[in-house]
């Protein structure tokens, strides 16, 4: 996502106009260009996890940046192991200028390694004007702003087949208990209630986080995310108990626990919105809509819709989010032009490019909701923005990658084991604490 004539200049004068006076040492912020293609001749290299349609749509943003400033861009997909790939590129002397970081924990790691440039004053000012404080906090380490959250995910959405609910006589629930009750009614009508992607451990962390945030509240959530309280805390055991009641209920899970453990995220969406549905609902983020639409041809709002993850017990409805933050690496060959890209990404103009393409939410409060292509996406975006500072970032993404972001280990594996056998929440809590203490170093 996120024009006029090209001016040929030489020497420091050209660099000043292209990149702002910082390039010649004055300390002034980098400029993204005023439409005069001031960055002609520069190339900004960008690394991120995106591939497929996400990479294609982000390229539209980069192309708009090129049209505005003249700077060329190169995007490299890192896969899920961002920190490993970026670290090896830095060691090899081939650091990208900008990295789209998908985890708060990784952003913190990069900052502590000394890899990042703080955002300059102009980008900071735009971020303060356009983003809620919570997003700036998640992009900061020890009070210094390094990351600009460009793309967000709303991870408190339960997606459903309107036809399946209508046939079972079930309406979108307002409470967690009502959701399970409605699920059993759906099961009685011949279709499983939920499709769960247990093969992907990250989906199970999202289930836990929504239950925990609603049940334990935001202060406990923040404390657990920072490992200021242990995973053996009674609130964790309570949330695991709540989640275990769902996992062990054969009426609620499509194919039971065994099939859930063999179902990945796209497969979980297919079980609800594919040609031969097995379930009526799938919990995951707003990005479910993209899979339902692009892979299964569903009309969002008619064939597929969502309701907010309902409040658990006496708690509030949770709003858990994730997102990708743009950071600038010190060792990039065009770090100054990289900062200009971040200046552009901070604008509603940039966000509108991807919003119009679809499969995207922005935390930018200045983005006109009409930029989104359908009413359902507008509703999820509105919910995310209006949540303001009550949004809580995905807890596992805030953790060290060894605990919260690595396949086959840490929280991902322990919750998969819990899905397989949810009979002992206290034991699972103890295992989580042991893994967390090792990863956090305390």
On whether residue 394 sits in a domain, the answer given is no
Residue 76: is its pLDDT beyond 90? yes
pLDDT of residue 6: 28
Q: Supply 150's token pair.
A: 């460009």
Which residue has 């700036």 as its token pair? 136
Mean pLDDT of 327-353: 97
Residue 191: is its pLDDT beyond 50? yes
pLDDT of residue 55: 94
pLDDT of residue 407: 87
pLDDT of residue 8: 29
142 and 84 co-located in one domain: yes
Rounded Cα distance, 433 and 234, in Å: 12
Residue 35 pLDDT class (50, 70, 90 cuts): low
Q: Please report, for the domain that includes residue 85, its CATH number.
A: 3.40.190.10
DSSP tag of 370: G
pLDDT of residue 20: 37
Which is more confidently placed, 83 or 233? Answer: 233
333 and 435 co-located in one domain: no
pLDDT tens-place string over residues 105-155: 889 999 999 999 999 999 999 999 999 999 999 999 999 999 999 999 999
On whether residue 284 sits in a domain, the answer given is yes
73 and 182 co-located in one domain: no
Start-to-end Cα distance in the chain: 41
Which stretches does DSSP call E strand in 162-314? 192-195, 279-283, 305-308
| Residues forming a β-bridge with 77 | 48
282 and 422 co-located in one domain: yes
Mean pLDDT of 356-381: 93
Which residue has 């002397």 as its token pair? 93
Residue 418: is its pLDDT beyond 50? yes
Transcribe 109-154 into DSSP letters: HHHHTT-EEPPPHHHHHHHHHHB-HHHHHHTEETTEE--EEEEEEE
271 and 327 co-located in one domain: no
Rounded Cα distance, 29 and 23, in Å: 9
**Which of residues 343, 365, 387 is at a domain's end?**
387
Contact between 353 and 64 under an 8 Å Cβ cutoff? The reply is yes
Which is more confidently placed, 57 or 388? Answer: 57
On whether residue 1 sits in a domain, the answer given is no
On whether residue 102 sits in a domain, the answer given is yes
Residue 73: is its pLDDT beyond 90? yes
Classify 87 as helix, strand or coil.
helix
Q: Any idea which of 1-5, 78-82, 425-429 has the lowest mean pLDDT? A: 1-5
pTM: 0.82
| Residues forming a β-bridge with 306 | 159
Phi and psi angles of residue 183, each rounded to the nearest 5 degrees, phi first = -60, -40
Contact between 117 and 339 under an 8 Å Cβ cutoff? The reply is yes
On whether residue 392 sits in a domain, the answer given is no
Q: Which of 290, 246, 256, 283 is nearest to 268 (CA)?
A: 283
381 and 434 co-located in one domain: no
Residue 28: is its pLDDT beyond 90? no
User: Which residues have C-beta within 8 Å of that of residue 16, sequence separation ≥ 6?
Assistant: 23, 24
86 and 111 co-located in one domain: yes
75 and 206 co-located in one domain: no
pLDDT of residue 37: 74
| Residues forming a β-bridge with 148 | 326
Mean pLDDT of 245-266: 95
96 and 147 co-located in one domain: yes
Count of domains in the chain? 2
366 and 414 co-located in one domain: no
Rounded Cα distance, 436 and 106, in Å: 16
Mean pLDDT of 321-333: 96
Phi and psi angles of residue 46, each rounded to the nearest 5 degrees, phi first = -130, 130
201 and 117 co-located in one domain: no
For β-strands 279-283 and 192-195, DSSP reports them as: parallel
pLDDT of residue 36: 61
On whether residue 257 sits in a domain, the answer given is yes
On whether residue 393 sits in a domain, the answer given is no
Rounded Cα distance, 138 and 391, in Å: 11
Rounded Cα distance, 127 and 365, in Å: 10
pLDDT of residue 415: 98
Rounded Cα distance, 45 and 334, in Å: 8
What is the extent of the structural domain holding 343?
11-154+322-387
On whether residue 2 sits in a domain, the answer given is no
Rounded Cα distance, 256 and 196, in Å: 9
Looking at every residue in the chain, the average pLDDT score rounds to: 90
pLDDT of residue 32: 52
Phi and psi angles of residue 364, each rounded to the nearest 5 degrees, phi first = -70, 115
Mean pLDDT of 377-401: 91
Contact between 341 and 32 under an 8 Å Cβ cutoff? The reply is yes
Which residue has 């209630």 as its token pair? 193
Rounded Cα distance, 266 and 275, in Å: 14
Mean pLDDT of 270-291: 95
370 and 306 co-located in one domain: no
pLDDT of residue 436: 98
**Which of residues 342, 360, 387 is at a domain's end?**
387
| Residues forming a β-bridge with 393 | 321
pLDDT of residue 388: 85
* DSSP3 helix / strand / coil % (the chain, rounded to 5): 50, 15, 35
Residue 210: is its pLDDT beyond 90? yes
């Amino acid at each position: 996502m996120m024009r006029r004539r090209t001016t040929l200049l030489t020497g420091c004068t050209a660099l000043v106009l292209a990149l702002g006076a910082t390039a010649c040492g004055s300390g002034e912020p980098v400029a993204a260009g005023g439409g005069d293609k001031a960055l002609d001749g520069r190339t900004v290299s960008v690394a991120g996890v995106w591939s497929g349609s996400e990479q294609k749509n982000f390229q539209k943003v980069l192309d708009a940046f090129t049209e505005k400033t003249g700077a060329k861009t190169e995007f490299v997909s890192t896969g899920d192991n961002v920190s490993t790939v970026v670290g090896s590129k830095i060691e090899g002397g081939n650091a990208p200028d900008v990295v789209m970081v998908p985890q708060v924990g990784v952003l913190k790691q990069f900052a502590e390694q000394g890899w990042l440039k703080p955002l300059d004053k102009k980008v900071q000012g735009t971020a303060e004007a356009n983003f809620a404080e919570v997003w700036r906090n998640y992009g900061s380490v020890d009070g210094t702003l390094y990351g600009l959250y460009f793309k967000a995910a709303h991870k408190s959405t339960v997606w459903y087949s309107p036809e399946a609910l209508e046939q079972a006589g079930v309406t979108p629930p307002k409470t967690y208990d009502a959701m399970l009750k409605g699920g059993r009614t759906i099961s009685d009508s011949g279709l499983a209630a939920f499709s769960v992607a247990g093969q992907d451990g990250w989906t199970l962390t999202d289930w836990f986080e929504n239950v925990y945030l609603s049940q334990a509240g935001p202060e406990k959530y923040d404390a657990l995310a920072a490992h200021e309280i242990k995973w053996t805390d009674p609130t964790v055991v309570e949330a695991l108990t709540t989640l275990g009641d769902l996992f062990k209920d054969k009426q609620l899970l499509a194919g039971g626990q065994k099939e859930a453990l063999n179902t990945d995220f796209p497969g979980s969406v297919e079980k609800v919105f594919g040609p031969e549905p097995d379930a009526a609902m799938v919990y995951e983020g707003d990005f479910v809509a993209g899979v339902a639409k692009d892979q299964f041809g569903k009309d969002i709002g008619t064939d597929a819709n969502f309701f907010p993850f309902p409040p658990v017990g006496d708690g509030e409805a949770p709003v858990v989010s994730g997102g990708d933050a743009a950071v600038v690496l010190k060792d990039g060959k065009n770090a100054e032009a990289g900062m200009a890209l971040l200046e552009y990404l901070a604008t509603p103009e940039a966000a509108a490019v991807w919003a119009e393409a679809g499969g995207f939410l922005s935390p930018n409060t200045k983005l006109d909701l009409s930029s989104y292509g359908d009413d359902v996406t507008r509703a999820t975006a509105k919910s995310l923005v209006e949540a303001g500072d009550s949004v809580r970032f995905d807890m596992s993404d805030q953790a060290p990658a060894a605990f919260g972001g690595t396949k086959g280990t840490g929280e991902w594996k322990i919750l998969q084991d819990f899905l397989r056998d949810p009979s002992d929440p206290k034991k699972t809590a103890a295992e989580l604490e042991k893994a967390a203490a090792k990863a956090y170093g305390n």
